[in-house]
Chain A
Amino acid sequence: MLSRLNTDKLTACPECDLLIDTAEPVKEGYVSECPRCGYIVEHPVRLSIRHNFLCVVTGLIFYFPAMMLPVMKFTMLGNTQAMSIYNCLLTLFNTGNMGIALLILLTLILVPLAKMVLIIFITTRLYHKVKTRYLAVSFKWYTRLSHWGMLDIFMLSILVSAIKLRSDAELEPGLGLYAFVILLLSSSLQTQLLNKRLVWTLIEHHGK
C-alpha cells in the first residue's frame, strides 16, 4: 500500500511545535526525527490493512473466552476456587468496591472491545474504499481510547498475584489464561502494525 506519509511541505512537531521542512521524502526504513526534541515525525513503513484486520479478528475470537473462562484455579484444603475476569468484576460489585469495579470494567473489558470493533470498522471501510463520514470520528475515538486499555498491566498482575499465592496452596492456570495471552499478543501486535499517520492520510484521501 502507500508508504509515503507526508504530503505537506511543512510539518509542525506535535510535541514541541517546531516547524520542520518535510518537502524531501523520507526513504522507507529510515526515520525522520524532530531536530529539537527527538519526536519521530515520519517513519515510513508499509501499512497492511489486512494484517491489522486479521490481528483484530484473532483478538475478538479469544476475547470472550479470555473474559469468561477461569484465568486461575486456586485449591486450598480441598476446596477449589476459579477466577475469571468477569467473576472478579462481579465480586468487586457485590462487595461494594464500585470504584475498582468500574476501573476493571472500563480498562479491561470495554476499552479493548471498543478498540477492536473500531479497528474492524475502519479497516473494512479503508479496504473497500467506502466513503463514510464516520471514519474520521471512529479513528479519533480509537486514538483516544488506546491510552486507557490496560490488558498488559493485568498480565503482570496475574504473574505477581500467582507468585504471592503460590506459597499458600495449589495454583493452576485455567483456559482463560491462554485465551487472555492470545488476546494480549494480538492486540499489541496490532498496535505495532498500525501506522497512525498513514491511516490519517488514507482517511483524508477517501474518507468524507
Chain B
Amino acid sequence: MGNKPVSALRQAYLCCRVCHKTLPQNAQEVVQCPRCHTQVYARIPHSLAQSWALLISSFILYIPANVLPIMTLNKAGVMRTDTIISGIINLANIGMQPIALIVFIASILVPLLKMFGLALILLAVQFNWQRNVCLRTKMYRMIEYVGRWSMLDIFVISILLGIVKFDKVASVDIEPAALLFESVVLLTMFAALRFDSRLIWDDINE
C-alpha cells in the first residue's frame, strides 16, 4: 500500500453525522452542514462520558430487572409469578424449546452481550488498546443493529395482557421488572447511539 490511511479529521475534513456529507474544516469550531442544516462536530461532544453514564445505569437496572417478577398469570385462581428466567425455563419444561430459545436469545443473551460488548469497546477507547480494531468496529455495528430486538419480551407481555382478560378465569398482571427491563434496553440503545464509532480508530497507530 503506497499511501497510509489517515483520518479525515487530521487532514482537516469533517463528516456530517446525519447526512454523511464530507466538508472542509474551517477555523471556527462549529460548522453547520450546508445540506441538512445540522451542526457538524468533529466527534460527538462528550460521546465517551455520555455512553459510559448510560451504560452504567443500564448495568445497575439490569440486576433488579432479572431478580424481580416480570408478570403474574392467574389461571382459575392459581397464581403463577414469573421472572424473565423462570418464564423461559417454564417454556422449555412444557415442551416449547424453540420458543424458549428465541426468548432466551432476545431477552438474556442479546442484552448481556450488548452491554459487555459496549463496555469492552468503551474500555478500548479509554485505554487506547491497539489490537482487534476492525473486530471492534464490526461488533459495534452488530450491537447497534441487534439492540432493538430485546423489546420482544415487553411486547409479548403487552399482548398477553391485552388478550387474556377473562376476569376470574384467567388474567395477566404486569409486574415492576417489565418497566425495569424496558429501561435497560432503552438505556443501552441510547448508549450505543451516543457513542461515536470514529473514536475506535482515532488513536490507532498504523
Q: Give the segment of A31-39, A55-63, A114-122, A180-188 that binds chain B.
A: A31-39
User: Which B-chain residue is minimally distant from A108 (CB atoms)?
Assistant: B155
Tell me, in angstroms, the Cα distance from A144 to B38 when the chains sit together.
Answer: 12
Count of A interface residues, CB-CB < 8 Å: 59
A203 within 8 A of B: yes
Query: B133-149 toward A: CB 8 Å interface, digit per residue (1/0)?
Result: 01001100100000011
Contacts of B137 in A (CB 8 A): 15-16, 37-38
Tell me, in angstroms, the Cα distance from A83 to B148 when the chains sit together.
Answer: 24
Q: Cβ of A37 and Cβ of B165 under 8 Å apart?
A: no
Contacts of B9 in A (CB 8 A): 17
Q: Cβ of B162 and Cβ of A14 under 8 Å apart?
A: no
Q: Cβ of B37 and Cβ of A136 under 8 Å apart?
A: yes
Q: Cβ of A74 and Cβ of B164 under 8 Å apart?
A: yes
B80 within 8 A of A: no
Contacts of A35 in B (CB 8 A): 5
Q: Cβ of A15 and Cβ of B141 under 8 Å apart?
A: yes
A24 within 8 A of B: no
Tell me, in angstroms, the Cα distance from A154 to B162 when the chains sit together.
Answer: 14
Scan residues 146-187 of chain A and give those whose CB is less than 8 A from a CB of chain B. 147, 150, 153-154, 156-158, 160-161, 163-165, 167-168
Scan residues 27-71 of chain A and give those whose CB is less than 8 A from a CB of chain B. 35-38
Known contacts A160-B102, A163-B96, A200-B21: A74-B163 contact under CB 8 Å: yes
Scan residues 129-151 of chain A and give those whose CB is less than 8 A from a CB of chain B. 136-137, 139-140, 143-144, 147, 150
Q: Cβ of A17 and Cβ of B170 under 8 Å apart?
A: no
Contacts of B31 in A (CB 8 A): none
Known contacts A100-B178, A167-B94: A160-B152 contact under CB 8 Å: yes
Q: Which of B8, B161, B179, B189 contacts A88 (CB 8 A)?
A: B161
Tell me, in angstroms, the Cα distance from A72 to B198 when the chains sit together.
Answer: 45
A192 within 8 A of B: no
Contacts of B174 in A (CB 8 A): 92, 95, 97, 100
Q: Cβ of B159 and Cβ of A83 under 8 Å apart?
A: yes
Contacts of B148 in A (CB 8 A): 147, 150, 153
A3 within 8 A of B: no
Known contacts A10-B22, A99-B179, A103-B154: A140-B36 contact under CB 8 Å: yes
Scan residues 150-195 of chain B and give those whose CB is less than 8 A from a CB of chain A. 151-152, 154-166, 169-170, 173-174, 178-179, 182-183, 189, 193
Q: Cβ of A10 and Cβ of B162 under 8 Å apart?
A: no
Q: Cβ of B14 and Cβ of A88 under 8 Å apart?
A: no
A87 within 8 A of B: yes
User: Which A-chain residue is minimally distant from B37 (CB atoms)?
Assistant: A136
Known contacts A12-B14, A76-B166: A200-B35 contact under CB 8 Å: yes
A-B complex: 7 closest residue pairs judged by Cβ atoms = A88-B162, A12-B8, A157-B155, A12-B15, A83-B163, A19-B8, A17-B198
